[in-house]
Chains A and B, each alone.
Chain A
Amino acid sequence: MLSTTFFLEQIKRSLAIAKKDIQIYYLKGPVIVFGLIFPLFLFLAFTIGRNLSAKELFPGFIGMVVFFTATSVGPAILPWEARSKTLERLVCSPISTWAILFGDILASFIFGLFISLVPLIAILIIGVEIMDLVLLSSGMILATFCFASLSVLLSVYPPTDIPSTVMMLSSLIKFPLVFISGVFVPIEQLPEWGKIVASASPLTYFVDLAKCSVNGISYFSVPVDLAVLTAFALVFLISSVKLHERFLPKRFS
C-alpha cells in the first residue's frame, strides 16, 4: 500500500521529470511537425474554399488542436531517452516507473493545454460567442490529459530507440482517429457503422463537448461525454504504466 508521504515524494519527482521534458523536448523537430504543422495544414486543406462560419469550424478545430498537440510530445520522449542512454539514468534513480511516466504525461498535457489556449483566446477575441466557457475549459483539461496519456501509451511498442519510428507508427493511429471523430463530418451525418466506429474514439466525445459548449447542441449528452473521456483517460493511464513496466526492460537488453 502506498503511503501518502511516499506518493507525494514521487509526485514531486514526476514534476522534475516534466520540467526536464519541457526544457528538452518541446522544441524538437518531430514535436513541432506532428504537433503544430501537420494539424494546421490538415485544417487549412479542409476549410479553404468552404463557406463555413468560425462558430461552425471551431469545435472541430479545437478538437484537432487539443488532440494533435497533446499527443505530440509523449511518443518522442522514451525512444529519445533510450537512444541517448538517459533512460538508464532515470531507471536507476529512486523514482517509480509510474512517476516517470506521469512526468512525461504532465509535459505532454502542459504542451497541449497551452497551445490549445491560443485558438480559444483567438476565437474569443474575434467575438465568437461561446455558450458555456466553463464546460469547454473543463472538457479541454480532461481531453488534454486523456490524449497526453494516450501519447505515452503510443510509445510502448515497439520498444525502439528510434523516435521517428514511434512518431510514424503513432501517426497511423492518430490520423484515422481524426477522420472518424466528427472533426470534419458531424457524427449525425455518418452512416450507422460510422457512428459505431466514432463511439470508439475518445476524440469524438471532446468534439461533441466542444459543439455543445459553442452551440448548445450535442450528439451524446454532456455527462456521457465527460464520463467516457474520464474512462478513456484512466484506461490510457493505467495501461500505459502497466505496459511500459512490462516492455521497459527490453529497451536495455
Chain B
Amino acid sequence: MSIAISVHNLTKRYGDITAVDNISFEVKQGEIFGFLGPNGAGKTTTIRILTCIIKPDEGKATIMGHDIEKEPLQAKQIMGIVPEMSNAYIDLSAWNNLMLIGELYGVPKKQRAERAKRLLEKFGLYDRRNQLVRDFSKGMKQRLILCMALINEPTILFLDEPTSGLDVESAKIIREMIVELNNTGTTVFLTTHNMEEANKLCHRIAIINHGKIAAIDTPEKLRVKSSGLQSIEASFDYLVNMDDLAKIPCIKQVEKMGDKIKFYTSDTNEALNRIMDYARSHGLKIITLNTLAPSLEEVFLKLTQIKNGV
C-alpha cells in the first residue's frame, strides 16, 4: 500500500510554546487515520500544517508525494478539508459556495454543477440550495462544508472534529459518508474527541499529547498493548472482603461496581487462576466472570495522563 501522507520530524513553535514537537508518522493510501489528543495537544496545528495553512518551523511533510512547502498547490489540489468551525461564506447561498470552491479547484463548469447537485441531494440540502448560509443550522453548515470539501473529488480528506457539537442525525450522516468515501478509496485523516467514533471508524490511531505522538497503532492493538489496563469483572454469591481481594498477587487494583468487582491486572491468565483459587479457598461460588479489554477512552486517558505526569 503506498503512502498518502508522510510526516517527518515536524515541529511548530509559537514563541516559547512548542505546539508540535518533532512528530513523525505515515498514513497509508485508503486508510482512515485518527488523530486523537486533548485540547491544545497539537491536533489542529498539525492539520493546519498538512493543509498548507501554516508553515512548519522544522521537518517535512508530503501529500501523495508532493512536498507541502515546495509543491503546495499540487498538494492542495488533491485534498478536501472539513475544518472544526464552519468556514462557508454566510453571505452566499449554499449553491454559490459550492460553485466558488469548484472554481477555485479548477473544476469545469458542467462538472461543477453536476457534482454540486449530487452532493447537495446526498446531504439533504438541495431544497435549500438558494438560501443564504447565514440562515443554516450548525448541522446544515457542517454538511455544506463536507459538500464543499468533496466538490473536487479529493484523494485525501482532512476532517477536524467533523461531528463536534452536531445533532445526532447530522453526525450520523457525516460518519456514514466517511465510511462510504473510504470504501471508494479516499484516504481520511480525522481528528476527533469522540473515542467511540475513532474506535468505530479508524483503521489506525495516533494519540498526540503536548505536541508529541504518545502512541500510534490500530484501536485494538492500542487497547491490548496497554498493560495494566486489562481487567476482569467477577461477581460472587456472598459479599467479599475487598482488602483480601486487593492482596491477591498480580492484581494491581480492585474496584467495587455494584454487585460486581473489577480487578485490574497486567496478566489476565494468572489473575483468573488466582481469583478462582480465592473463591475455592473461601467457599465462594462465582456467579459471573468476564475478561475485559480496556476501552479506547481508558487507553487515551492513561497515555495522556502519563505524559502529563499524573
**A binding-site residues for B, Cβ under 8 Å:** 9, 12-13, 15-17, 19-20, 23-24, 84-86, 88-96, 249, 252-253
Q: Is the CB of A85 within 8 A of B85?
A: yes
Question: B77, A253: Cβ atoms under 8 Å?
Answer: no
Using known A-B contacts A13-B104, A92-B53, A96-B73, determine if residue A253 contacts B14 with beta carbons closer than 8 Å.
yes
> A23, B96: Cβ atoms under 8 Å?
yes
B90 contacts which of A20, A84, A252 (Cβ < 8 Å)? A84
The chain B residue with its CB closest to the CB of A10 is B73
Q: Are the C-beta atoms of B92 and A12 separated by less than 8 Å?
A: no
> Which one of B54, B74, B92 lies within 8 Å of A24 (CB-CB)?
B92
Interface contact A91-B96, CB-CB below 8 Å: no
Contact B92–A88 (Cβ < 8 Å): no
Within the complex, the shortest CB–CB distance from B103 to chain A, in Å, comes to: 4
Contacting pair B87 A85 (CB below 8 A): yes
- In the bound assembly, the distance between CA atoms of A94 and B89 in angstroms comes to 18
Q: Is B101's CB within 8 Å of the partner chain A?
A: yes
Q: B79 in the interface, Cβ–Cβ < 8 Å?
A: yes
Inter-chain contact B103/A86, CB cutoff 8 Å: no
| CA of A84 to CA of B83, assembled, Å | 13
Cβ B91 vs Cβ A94 within 8 A? no
Sample (15) of A-B pairs whose CB atoms are under 8 Å apart: A20-B92, A24-B89, A85-B83, A86-B88, A88-B53, A91-B52, A92-B51, A92-B52, A92-B79, A94-B73, A94-B77, A95-B104, A249-B55, A252-B53, A253-B14
CA separation between A62 and B109, bound complex, in Å? 39
Please give me the residue from chain A that is nearest to B89 by CB atom: A86
Question: Could you give, for residues 198-215 of chain B, a 1 whenever the CB lies within 8 Å of some chain A CB and a 0 otherwise?
Answer: 000000000000000000
Show the binding face of B for A, using Cβ within 8 Å. 14, 48, 51-55, 73-74, 76-77, 79, 81, 83, 85-92, 96, 100-101, 103-106, 148
B residues less than 8 Å from A12 (CB atoms): 103, 106
Q: Determine whether the beta carbon of B101 is less than 8 Å from that of A252.
A: no
Q: Take A249-B54, A252-B54 as given contacts and tell me if A13 and B106 are in contact as well, using a CB distance cutoff of 8 Å.
A: yes
Give every chain B residue within 8 A of A23 (Cβ-Cβ). Answer: 91-92, 96
Q: A86-B89, A88-B83, A253-B14 are in contact. Are A16 and B54 (CB under 8 A)?
A: no
- Which chain A residues lie closer than 8 Å to B148 at the CB level? 89
Which of A12, A24, A89: most chain B CB closer than 10 A?
A89
Known: A84-B87, A88-B83. A13 touches B76 (CB 8 A): no
Assess the A89–B87 pair: CB atoms within 8 A.
yes
Question: When chains A and B are docked, how far (Å) is the Cα of A15 from the Cα of B52?
Answer: 22
**Nearest CB of chain B from residue A100's CB, rounded to whole Å:** 9
- Most chain A CB atoms below 10 A, which of B77, B92, B104: B104
Q: Distance in Å from the Cβ of A6 to the closest Cβ of chain B? A: 8
Assess the A94–B105 pair: CB atoms within 8 A.
yes
> From A96, which residue of chain B is reached at the shortest CB distance?
B73
Which partner residue on chain B sits nearest A89 by CB separation?
Answer: B87
Residues on A with C-beta less than 8 A from B83 are 85, 88-89
Chain A hits for B48, CB < 8 A: 252
Q: Give the Cβ gap from A126 to chain B, nearest Cβ, in Å.
A: 37
Residues from chain A with Cβ under 8 Å of B100 in the complex: 16, 19-20
**Residues of A contacting B103 in the complex (Cβ-Cβ under 8 angstroms):** 12-13, 15-16
Q: How far is the CA of A69 from the CA of B59 in the complex (A)?
A: 45
Return chain B residues, CB-CB under 8 Å to A89: 81, 83, 87-88, 101, 148
Residues of B with C-beta under 8 A to A92: 51-53, 76, 79, 81
In the bound complex, how far is the Cα of B62 from the Cα of A129, in angstroms?
Answer: 63
Closest chain B CB from A75 CB (angstroms): 18
Contact partners of A17 in chain B: CB under 8 A = 104
A96 to B14, CA, bound (A): 25
- The interface residues of chain A lying within 8 Å CB-to-CB of B106 are 9, 12-13, 94
Chain B residues lying within 8 Å of A20, measured Cβ to Cβ, are 89, 92, 96, 100
Residues of A within 8 A of B86 (CB): 85
Bound-state CA distance A96–B76 (Å) is: 11
Instruction: For the complex formed, measure the closest distance between the CB of A87 and the CB atoms of chain B, giving whole angstroms.
Output: 8
- Additional A-B contact list (19), CB under 8 Å, known A88-B83, A90-B104, A253-B14: A9-B106, A12-B103, A13-B104, A15-B103, A16-B104, A20-B89, A20-B96, A24-B91, A84-B90, A85-B83, A85-B86, A86-B89, A88-B53, A92-B52, A93-B76, A94-B74, A94-B105, A96-B73, A252-B48
